[in-house]
A and B are shown apart, each in its own frame.
Chain A
Amino acid sequence: MSEGTPQPVASTPQPLPQRLRLVPGGGWGAALATLAAAGMAFLAMLSLVAGLAAADLAATWQRDLQGSATVRLSAPDATSLDRVMDVLRRTDGVAAARALAAEDQAALLAPWLGEGAALSDLPIPQLIDVTLAGAGPDVDRLAAALEAASPGTVYDDHGAWRGPLLEAAAAIRNLAVAAVALIAGAAAGITALAARASLAGNAEIVRVVRLIGGRDSFIVRAFVRPLVWRTGLGAGAGAILGAVVLAALPKAGAALGLTIAPGLGSLFSFAAAVAGAGAIIGWAAAQLAVRAALRELP
């Protein structure tokens, strides 16, 4: 008692906790919340990096294809190639033009015609690889000049297949974003369920704390703190595991000529961000769930 005691006694202060563990820890619910957070963080890492890889791939394709074009002479004769090359050299927006050598064209056709095919017997169009400068040439004017130089010559800015490729890359990126959003939503739902289960299992604690004058904000803090700790811990473990797995992927990716994962430093930065996001999502979901559940309790 603060105002004294009926019988004077020697005071022997004992160490007392500054902060009690009001909500008992442990149990399958706590383990499940931690495990679920770890799984979600692992999946989020994979989705995030897949999305970034897709975005990176799309940007690379865009950059490479935007900077080049192909001119195709359908039936080249002795002088038409020179006339076309002359047009290209004189056109603003064309940095360089290189007529593919016969062996280069043979290499391009090898998958279809086989090695060592006698191309000289076939009417093979002449391809010219054009490197563009700046915003590139005035396509209509160049097409007209090429047609005049050699009728039937086609200027291809790769737009016909660049578009679908970019759309595919964008779709992969959007899918990854949707997957991350779904994972975040699922993580929030699992945390909210864990919070409600914790509150339902400890309704007596809530009742006692309210009866001794505890504010609901005190109860919310007491219930949310361990959940945030658990989800943060689980998310951290899952994100680090994801980073480790992704760090091993470039070897496989290199064999396919793909950049699957960013550098190790970036991966662990992503892992830290995912773990932090996991803790924030856990905090927000637990706050909302506990506050809503407290309103329902008598």
Chain B
Amino acid sequence: MIHLQQVSFGYDGREILSAVEAEIAAGSFHFLTGPSGAGKTTLLKLLYLEALPQGGKLSLFGEDPVTAGSDARMQLRRRIGIVFQDFRLLDHLSVAENVTLPLIVHGRDPAKNAGDVADLIRWVGLSHRADAPPRALSAGEKQRAAIARAVITSPDLIIADEPTGNVDAEMGMRILRLLVELNRLGKTVLIATHDLGLIRSARSMVTARILRLADGRLTAGGAEL
């Protein structure tokens, strides 16, 4: 599903990622870990196509996003659900509207998917908050709303950037369980985290692999937990 060959990327002449090699198979569950500043977020940006590699080759769903046109890149993005550490929910929309947004953006009829939206909001435990604006939610509720938004269009790949970074341990476990459940449904899941407790907790739930970044280089390229 994802192949990285000698991928490199930098800002302002400073190399953030250097000769990254990795392979993520469809249906797998990966943790991307490493200290702060190791390049985790940059690597994720390359994977969800907010940035493009400056060197090496990235293959996503069998396509090279660097040579693909903007329309093809947009189609690739539609196969990826992203959960951000800072949620990135739109404050002027309710939870239900935020979850519905990807359907509208993808040109799908929200009315025909109203049942899915309601089920999904219930699944993440936010039925009672469906009409609330994000500012009225706790951090854990916001993250669960963000997960619902990320998966409403049933993407093939779910990328979560520090999804438990702003929540307590109990809520972190709840969010991890949601992501594990999505993996059991066949979704490929990649979680960037420096929370080793979270990674240890995942051992009993799922067969996960580790990608470890240090100073812009992968020091563990997919070892099992």
Which A residues have a C-beta under 8 Å from some C-beta of B?
Answer: 1-7, 9, 11-22, 24, 204-205, 207-215, 218
From A17, A21, A218, contact of B92 by CB (8 A): A21
Closest to B97 in A: A20
Which residue of B78, B88, B113 contacts A213 across the interface (Cβ within 8 Å)?
Answer: B78
Taking a contact as CB atoms closer than 8 A, the residue among B82, B117, B123, B153 that contacts A14 in the complex is B117
Contact partner, B88, options A5, A13, A208, Cβ 8 Å: A208
Measured CB to CB, the closest approach of chain A to B3, in angstroms, equals: 21
Interface of A is mostly: loop
Q: B105, A218: Cβ atoms under 8 Å?
A: yes
Interface of B is mostly: helix
Q: Report the separation of the CA atoms of residues A18 and B110 in the bound assembly, to the nearest whole angstrom.
A: 6
B196 on interface, CB distance cutoff 8 Å: no
A12 to chain B: which residues have CB within 8 Å?
115, 118, 122
Give the residues in chain B near A207, CB-CB below 8 Å: 88
* Residue from A6, A19, A204 in contact with B104 in the complex, judged by beta carbons closer than 8 Å: A19
Assembled-state Cα–Cα distance A215/B119 (Å) = 27
Query: Which residues on A sit within 8 Å (CB–CB) of B153?
Result: 2, 212-213
User: Cβ of A20 and Cβ of B118 under 8 Å apart?
Assistant: no
Q: Within the complex, which residue of B92, B104, B113 is in contact with A24, where a contact is CB–CB below 8 Å?
A: B92
Tell yes or no: B154 within 8 A of A by CB.
yes
- Chain A residues with Cβ under 8 A from B119's Cβ? 1, 5, 9, 11
Determine whether the beta carbon of A3 is less than 8 Å from that of B185: yes
A215 and B151 CA atoms in complex are apart in Å by 19
| B96 CB contacts on chain A under 8 angstroms | 14, 16
A120–chain B nearest beta-carbon distance, Å = 90
Q: Are B115 and A3 in contact (CB under 8 A)?
A: no
